[in-house]
Amino acid sequence: MTVRDIRLFGDPVLKTVSDPIIELDEKARALIQDLIDTTKLPGRAGVAAPQIGVNLRAFSFNVAGTVGYIINPELVELSGEKTLVDEGCLSVPELWHKTPRYEFAKAVGIDLEGNEVVLEGNGLMAQALQHECDHLDGLVYLDRLEDAERKVSMKNLRATDWFMK
């Protein structure tokens, strides 16, 4: 289908809780294909529908050479130690910050045929699941930062060429 443009921090769609996908129709299939195509570009671990301007609960991921998607995901388990990991976001280009994330995450949703999908993992997969589900809940990783790191991130954000000042 299409590689879609990424919406940047400041766009209201990124701060809006996404609606569930009700109909698994051609519109949903086109959205999933666009998410996959957009995620396959080098250096991308995932893209959530709000990042391409669509207020629906779906995302695609590209972790350790595996590309996939999930519709209407819900995080059902977060476990292990919560550690600070270097994290960035396509919607917040050029910035990386220490973000608290759990070591393990598990999400449950469906595929385009309505079959249950279970995604789980440690490391980058755990981080991607948490990051992309946050997007569906109207959060960006900057919202998860500890106070001192958040102050630094806001200063760095204002110094970028792309941020709407």
Q: Which residues are designated catalytic?
A: 132
Tokens 């294909």 -> residue: 33
Strand-pairing partners, residue 68, are 61
Print burial letters for 31-45: b (CB count within 10 Å at least 16), e (below 16): bbebbbbbbeeeeeb
Go through the chain and tell me how many residues it has: 165
142 alpha carbon, distance to own chain's centre:
12
H or E element: which one contains 32?
Answer: helix 26-39
